[in-house]
Structure 1
Amino acid sequence: MRPSRPAARQSKPSAPRHGLARVLSKMGVCSRSQAEKAIREGRVSVDGKVVLDPERPADPDRQRILFDNEPIAANTRVYIVLNKPRGIVVSAADERGRDTVYDLLKDAGLPWLGPVGRLDKASEGLLLLSNDSVWAARLTEPRHHVDKTYHVQVNDIPDQALLDQLLEGVVEEGERLAARRATLLRHGEKNAWLEIVLDEGRNRHIRRLLAAHGIEVLRLIRVAIGSMPLGELPKGQWRHLMDAEVQALAAASSAGAASK
């Protein structure tokens, strides 16, 4: 009878690795779409070999990754707030040649920054940008319910019944659209300004919600995210966030997730 062999030791599973394009994005080198394009163009190598598959797993802690023959390293985390003007596209590049928020940041000496959430071309106001993808995700994931406050000019003078209906919400194209708070700020003879607070943001959320009630948006300005206001930042200008603001926004995302 042969002696029994000792059971083979099972090696601990290695930490999960992300695709190469995501690695470049998470390290703040460029956006994920820009990384995918660069990889397919043969501009990225891993351990001396050019990689053409953006989804190939990579580990920057164990592998040498070069982008345009330069080793990648995590950039210092940068957080800025921009007062986006109307008519500017929130995109790294626009196929129609329109001005983008990155045109406002050129020659600023900043690393690549991604927008934290979106504002459509016709909307204006507070836009955050950062190369901290984890922080950004916490602010934008619906489950964290971070309040976003907007001042909205409309072509009507809403009464309290309509404001209540905005809180009740509507189902439009299979999505439920509702406001967390809606108040009348001021009005003239033909139009009014509302303050609308969302704790989640769907595509063109406020415009679609109001349109469902026959109301047209004339202007839409985001004036705050969490407890951080846009303040007196001039249109088209930007500034770095203070450490306390970065931490307060992170705390707001944690509180929002815990409260739901």
Structure 2
Amino acid sequence: MSRGSNDSGSKYSGRQGGGKRRKSYARGNSPIKKKMEKSPLSNEDGIRLNKFIANSGVCSRREADMYIAAGNVTVNGQTVTEMGYRVKLTDDVRFDNRRLNPEKPEYILLNKPAGFFVTGNPEKGGRTVMELISKATSARVSPIGKLDNQAKGLLLFTNDGTLAKKLAKPKNGIRQIYQITLDKNLSSEDFEKIKTGGVFIEGSKVSVTAISFIEDRPHTEVGLELNSIKEHIVTKIFKSLGYNVESLDRVVFGGLTKKDLPRGRFRNLTQQEVINLGML
């Protein structure tokens, strides 16, 4: 056979007359293209699952692919092992049954003014605290705990679900200090009753860490420290003794204070403050 002739295999790797190179089938360029079957779990939009996992801080994208293939990841309750599967930010993505958040953790402290609702918008035209922190972050943060519409003071927001859950149900409560204005002077008898734990709310004894009259102020103004996270607990304490709370200002929350934080303003927590909250 002459040097210039082509055998039956040369058309797969060499040039044919006209100089055009044929694609090598050995590299996966089959002339028959099979239509890829789409998984019933696939989403057309959103981000790749491995990126979602990597953004949450669990591991790298390459490691995420291994965990996905091993069946360690679920999306909306279903195990997903498909490479390239896409998810939305609203999907419930879990790694070893722990829900993941692909957004950077945000921690925002607001000095809430009166007249803003913490959750919902129960009255037409009512304003919420979310308006006050709208420029703080684009992340979907939520408030931890509640303050009444007319209450003032510290309110913490975060998208860190682990910390939020921990602070919402702490074993020993969270240290909080309130400055309170009552509709009348607090009597010495009721002062001692609160101080010694003689107040019962809904059948349970309320333990107060400290109570004091504010120096050089009428006895309608009181400082109260407690760890309870029960809703409306401060108002209930005084109401049970025949007092109405006219003003409520939370000045300390879990070690956080209003120092250098004017009413209606917000700031991001420092890394050390986040660490301290995680240790509560």
TM-score by length of 2: 0.62
User: What SS is found at the alignment partner of 1:197?
Assistant: strand
> For residue 186 of structure 1, what is the aligned residue in structure 2?
215
- TM superposition shift of 1:60: 8.4
Decide whether the 8 Å contact of 1:186 with 1:193 is kept in 2.
Answer: no
User: What SS is found at the alignment partner of 1:144?
Assistant: coil
> For residue 230 of structure 2, what is the aligned residue in structure 1?
202
User: How far, CA to CA, are the matches of 1:187 and 1:61 in structure 2?
Assistant: 68
Task: List runs of 5+ in structure 1 lacking aligned partners.
Answer: 1-26, 28-54, 254-260
In the alignment, does 2:188 pair up with 1:166?
Answer: no
User: How far, CA to CA, are the matches of 2:79 and 2:243 in structure 1?
Assistant: 51
- TM superposition shift of 1:221: 0.3
Decide whether the 8 Å contact of 1:151 with 1:195 is kept in 2.
Answer: yes
1:11-160 alignment runs, 5 A limit: 57-58=77-78, 64-67=86-89, 74-91=102-119, 93-97=120-124, 98-160=126-188
> For residue 271 of structure 2, what is the aligned residue in structure 1?
243
Decide whether the 8 Å contact of 1:138 with 1:144 is kept in 2.
Answer: no
User: How far, CA to CA, are the matches of 2:198 and 2:254 in structure 1?
Assistant: 22
- TM superposition shift of 1:106: 2.2
> For each residue in 1:140-163, what CA deviation from the matched residue of structure 2 results, as whole angstroms up to 9, or x when unmatched?
214232211111111233344322
The sequence identity of aligned pairs, in percent, is: 23
Decide whether the 8 Å contact of 2:173 with 2:229 is kept in 1.
Answer: no
User: What SS is found at the alignment partner of 1:183?
Assistant: strand
Decide whether the 8 Å contact of 2:118 with 2:146 is kept in 1.
Answer: yes
User: How far, CA to CA, are the matches of 1:60 and 1:209 in structure 2?
Assistant: 51
* 1:65 partner amino acid: V
User: How far, CA to CA, are the matches of 1:188 and 1:107 in structure 2?
Assistant: 37
Decide whether the 8 Å contact of 2:174 with 2:229 is kept in 1.
Answer: no
Task: List runs of 5+ in structure 2 lacking aligned partners.
Answer: 1-52, 54-74, 94-99
User: What SS is found at the alignment partner of 2:214?
Assistant: strand
1:59–1:153 CA distance, 2 compared to 1 (3 A): farther
Aligned-residue CA RMSD in angstroms?
A: 3.0
> More relative contact order in 1 or in 2 (CA 8 Å, sep 6+)?
1
In the alignment, does 2:220 pair up with 1:220?
Answer: no
Structure number with greater Rg is: 2
Decide whether the 8 Å contact of 2:111 with 2:266 is kept in 1.
Answer: yes
TM-score by length of 1: 0.66
1:73–1:166 CA distance, 2 compared to 1 (3 A): closer
* 1:162 partner amino acid: D
Decide whether the 8 Å contact of 1:115 with 1:128 is kept in 2.
Answer: yes
- TM superposition shift of 1:206: 0.7
Alignment equivalent of 1:177, drawn from 202, 206, 221: 206
> For residue 61 of structure 2, what is the aligned residue in structure 1?
none
User: How far, CA to CA, are the matches of 1:138 and 1:223 in structure 2?
Assistant: 21
- TM superposition shift of 1:102: 0.7
User: How far, CA to CA, are the matches of 2:80 and 2:216 in structure 1?
Assistant: 56
User: How far, CA to CA, are the matches of 1:221 and 1:163 in structure 2?
Assistant: 19
